[in-house]
Amino acid sequence: MTSMIAIRGARIFDGSDWHEGKVLLLDGDRFSGIVARDSVPEGVQNVDYDGQWIVPGFIDLQVNGGGGAQFGDVTSVDAIRTITSAHARFGTTKLLPTLITDTPETTERALQAGQAAFEAHVPGYLGLHLEGPHLSLARKGAHDPALIRPMEAEDVERLLRFRAGAGILLTTLAPENASLQQVRSLTAAGILVSIGHTDTDAKTAQAYFAAGALMVTHLFNAMSPLTHREPGLVGAALDAPQVFAGMIADGYHVDPIAMGIALRAKAGPGRIFLVTDAMSPLGTDMTGFMLNGRHIFRRDGRLTLADGTLAGADIDMLGCVRTAVHLLGLPIEEVLRMASLYPAEAVRLSGSHGRIKAGFVADFVALSPSLDHVATWIDGKRS
């Protein structure tokens, strides 16, 4: 009997086009192809998703926690597994556990956990995102100001040491606390650099893009805004064709009008992609949690400090997809690309992730036509 699996009965979106009346074939952890019903080999295992949609798996590049685990409070393979499992229930097939500003010791432990998760092939684990601690105090958001500091030689060395062993390695930093030469050193080694939590002007942002920083963290939030005389990081990111930008589509972090304007204005081929910025309560009934010794309140779809400062988001990736469709009126095809193909392109994995295509990793989501979650498949296995 063959090891192939045939996914039948669904309408299939491959990342570009819809396929009607076809069968999706899986061979191990890879897609084998989309074929006619009479071309399915004999002896395959059949799985029926009659009347549902099959779409590329969601990729989330900014995930602070989920399932009750906050990455940083707990830095272990088990914590990463808890987080990836929690997000898989909402269609996320690959993610970057994200460590917000913390001590060098916690950062070291997080990198060690990432390396262990990579070696253990934890389903859904793609790599790590270190959001800080080299940020701007002026745009700190919910990051602990006592832990924000300049990037030193030891910090660069630490990232370089774990580059090969932890999977994708992404770091968010601010020009106020990291130099152009440090960015060049990191990107030359294959570490991805995103600019965020900064009050930088547009000219400085352009210099950092030229040095190799090709991403912007949660567009509009915790960054210098677009104004008519100083375009800030927002304007520089929208104007730079090579730069990708994450955006939290929960309806709270960015007003739908601003989201729509940004999407229409963004120069390509760099794109705006969806991120959740989710925290530990995702997938639980928690009403709050502690972050760097401060209580975070969970109310009405928002996570905030006591003073109302947003502290991450209370949304999953499927929720972001629904927001983009219902509040922005975007075509479902483009929204699905914002949740899968564009983040894959941002981290240079568009040759293996983000599409349903022969030879690509078999990550996909089964959805109802009304955008309800039906099933998540990671590496060719139902999660």
Residues annotated catalytic, as ranges: 277
Torsion of the alpha carbons at 127, 131, 134 and 136, rounded to the nearest 10: 160
Handedness of CA 292, 298, 302, 308 (dihedral sign): negative
- Mapped to the 3 state alphabet, what secondary structure does 62-83 carry? EECEECCEEECCECCHHHHHHH
Q: What is the DSSP string of 226-275?
A: P-SS--HHHHHHHH-TT-EEEEE-SSSSS-HHHHHHHHHH--SSS-EEEE
CB distance 242 to 249 below 8 Å? no
Distance CA 75, CA 169 (A): 16
CB distance 193 to 132 below 8 Å? no
How far lies 367's CA from each of 204, 345, 373, in Å? Answer: 43, 23, 5
For residue 170, list its beta bridge partners: 129, 192
CB distance 279 to 65 below 8 Å? yes
The first and second tokens of residue 180, run together, are 């152009």
The first and second tokens of residue 122, run together, are 């934890």
Residue type, 163: R
- Show Cβ contacts of residue 114 under 8 Å, excluding neighbours closer than 6 positions: 80, 97, 125, 127, 128, 162, 166, 167
- Local structure of residue 332 (DSSP, 8 states): H
Q: How far is CA 256 from the centre of its chain?
A: 20
Q: In what order do the strands lie in the sheet with 364-367?
A: 18-19, 11-13, 53-56, 364-367, 373-378, 381-382
